[in-house]
Amino acid sequence: HRGWGSGQHSQQPKDEVALLCGLVSAVQSLDPDVLIGWDIQRESLGYLVERAQHLGLNLLRALGRTPGLGSVKERQEDEWGALHASGIHATGRVLLNLWRLVRGEVKLNMYSFESCCAAVLRRRVPRVPHTQMAAWFASGPAGGRWRCLRALQRRASLNLALIDTLDLVGRTAEMARAFGIDFFSVLSRGSQYRVESLLVRLAHTQNYVMLSPSREQVGGQPAMEAIPLVMEPESRMYTSPVVVLDFQSLYPSQMIAYNLCYSTCLGRPSHVRAGQAAAALASADSGTDPAAGAKAGTAGAAGVGVRLGVTSYAVPPGVMTAGGPLDPDSLVIAPNGVAYAPASVRPGVLPRMLSELLNTRVMTKAAMKRHAADRVLQRVLNARQMGLKLISNVTYGYTSAGFSGRMPFAELADSIVQSGRQTLENAIRLVEGHPHWKARVVYGDTDSLFVLLPGRSREDAFVIGAEIAAAVTACNPPPVTLKMEKVYQPCILQTKKRYVGYAYESPAQTCPTFDAKGIETVRRDGCPAVAKLLEASLRLLFSTKDLS
């Protein structure tokens, strides 16, 4: 073909069946692990699968690594996968719908192939309509067929470039290795699957088995009551510096600090005592010894089980006494009134898992600093530390998934949230009660504080911010840590989750960063012109501080 290029060749099969057979032959010859397409359901492999079905061929089975054997997924309607993943499966190969993956990686107003290439690859790609492609192909070898072939080849090579630039394969492989799950499950399964993969393996080493509640048990557990602290900000523009401080991994650190876990939860002490009294009364009526019943595992030992999460539980008599294994004075009482065994008596599985995750992430980031010149290793280590961060941040969600959860626990979830809320409230009281700082907390959101320092300079704000972080950290058990993130000057607090300002991350920074959260400049559901005009207006306001 004229213009097709040297070293390139094409084949023209006699009919559509021969075309599909040629595709199968090429895939079986190359034997790839991953097959990708931009829109694999409608325009790529999915279209070929529909054409093959019309011709009476099973293309997906032929493309798999066991053409003679059918897979389980062939007989299943993958409705969730069709809406969230690739929706089609070939045995032994991973099929990726690239536009869905790119949509989760970059934030754009439009996710066409051309827009994503411009944003990720910094390359402008012409959009060729299907009608034009068909006209080029129909013009024959002497006409413009080479244009059609070149456009398809360019599209395929750009797909590979997108995968490589975003490091989707390498990062996903590292996450699969860290979580202990397969490659495709990293992309297609939710956070509960990842947490459970780590939790099950660690629980088995401690001689625990996981509970599998029924849908009725999950629906019948007590409703969760605790909510994070989200303050209503004082809506105005602040010209004095506002210090932003964040608790580092607040919920994981609460679980570690207070040993909050499924395996350490005892319920509310008043309920425990009531259950023990009922057990003693039942034993007295039946003429059995409560201690003997505990060893025999009779109903007298279990007593009248107290509702705890999705099931019931009763502490055996004699356990929670001054001379027993659990001294009532040594128990950890969460702010919601639920008691937990201290780590000295029974280390929790969740705290141990989270400690190992956070420590491993620290070591991984230290290795990144040591090998800063090795770009390949940097990508691998960065993917690994990002996976560890994600899994630690979603562990709380595993305990609080009350509707579709695999093992929800309302009391544990409330303890975690209420502990985090109390930690934030204590930090606010400490900041506002210090006579030297003369600070005022103008906004707080779950794990962050916005501290106003009226009349102070930006240099003083960094010094005071570091003092606040050190003082609050010292008042909490490890590993609860408050870190100073940045200083806003000036800034506007509009309402909850919506603020904007000029951010400085160090005293030496002279050129500020325009940092916006939740307002129209970063939202993608409006007109881009509105975002640009608003950002220009805000920059002008911050620079001049003149509303006229």
Q: Is residue 451 part of a domain?
A: no
On whether both 134 and 268 belong to a single domain, the answer is: no
Distance CA 244, CA 49 (A): 53
pLDDT value, residue 402: 79
pLDDT category of residue 298 using cuts at 50, 70 and 90? very low
**Exposed/middle/buried for 349, CB within 10 Å: 0-12, 13-18, 19+?**
buried
Q: Is residue 63 part of a domain?
A: yes
In tens, the pLDDT along 222-257 reads 888 999 999 999 899 999 999 999 999 999 999 999
Mean pLDDT for the stretch of residues 464-470: 96
pLDDT category of residue 367 using cuts at 50, 70 and 90? very high
**Which residue, of 166, 192, 225, is where some domain finishes?**
166
On whether both 160 and 268 belong to a single domain, the answer is: no
Q: Is residue 92 part of a domain?
A: yes
Q: Is residue 276 part of a domain?
A: yes
**Which residue, of 166, 184, 207, is where some domain finishes?**
166
pLDDT value, residue 69: 75
On whether both 145 and 286 belong to a single domain, the answer is: no
pLDDT category of residue 539 using cuts at 50, 70 and 90? very high
Structural contact between residues 181 and 189, judged by C-beta atoms closer than 8 angstroms: yes
Range of the domain at 289: 262-340
Q: Is residue 28 part of a domain?
A: yes
Distance CA 510, CA 523 (A): 27
* CATH value at residue 92: 3.30.420.10
pLDDT value, residue 8: 72
Neighbours of 240 (CB within 10 A): 17
Kindly tell me if the per-residue pLDDT of 299 is higher than 50.
Answer: no
In tens, the pLDDT along 471-522 reads 999 999 999 999 999 999 999 999 999 999 999 999 999 999 999 999 999 9
Distance CA 379, CA 368 (A): 9
On whether both 157 and 45 belong to a single domain, the answer is: yes
Kindly tell me if the per-residue pLDDT of 450 is higher than 50.
Answer: yes
On whether both 26 and 142 belong to a single domain, the answer is: yes
Q: Is residue 120 part of a domain?
A: yes
**Which residue, of 307, 340, 373, is where some domain finishes?**
340
pLDDT category of residue 297 using cuts at 50, 70 and 90? very low
Structural contact between residues 516 and 522, judged by C-beta atoms closer than 8 angstroms: yes
Global confidence as pTM: 0.85
Both structure tokens of 244: 């932003």
Length of the chain: 548
Number of domains in the chain: 2
Mean pLDDT for the stretch of residues 87-100: 88
**Which residues, in sequence order, are bridge partners of residue 244?**
450, 486
In tens, the pLDDT along 414-428 reads 999 999 999 999 999
* 507 closest CA partner among 238, 241, 237: 241
Mean pLDDT for the stretch of residues 376-381: 86
Structural contact between residues 241 and 488, judged by C-beta atoms closer than 8 angstroms: yes
* 501 closest CA partner among 455, 452, 468: 452
pLDDT value, residue 82: 63
On whether both 141 and 282 belong to a single domain, the answer is: no
Q: Is residue 55 part of a domain?
A: yes
pLDDT value, residue 274: 63
Mean pLDDT for the stretch of residues 525-541: 92
Q: Is residue 357 part of a domain?
A: no
In tens, the pLDDT along 185-228 reads 998 888 899 999 999 999 999 999 999 898 888 888 888 899 99
pLDDT value, residue 83: 65
In tens, the pLDDT along 156-169 reads 999 999 999 998 99
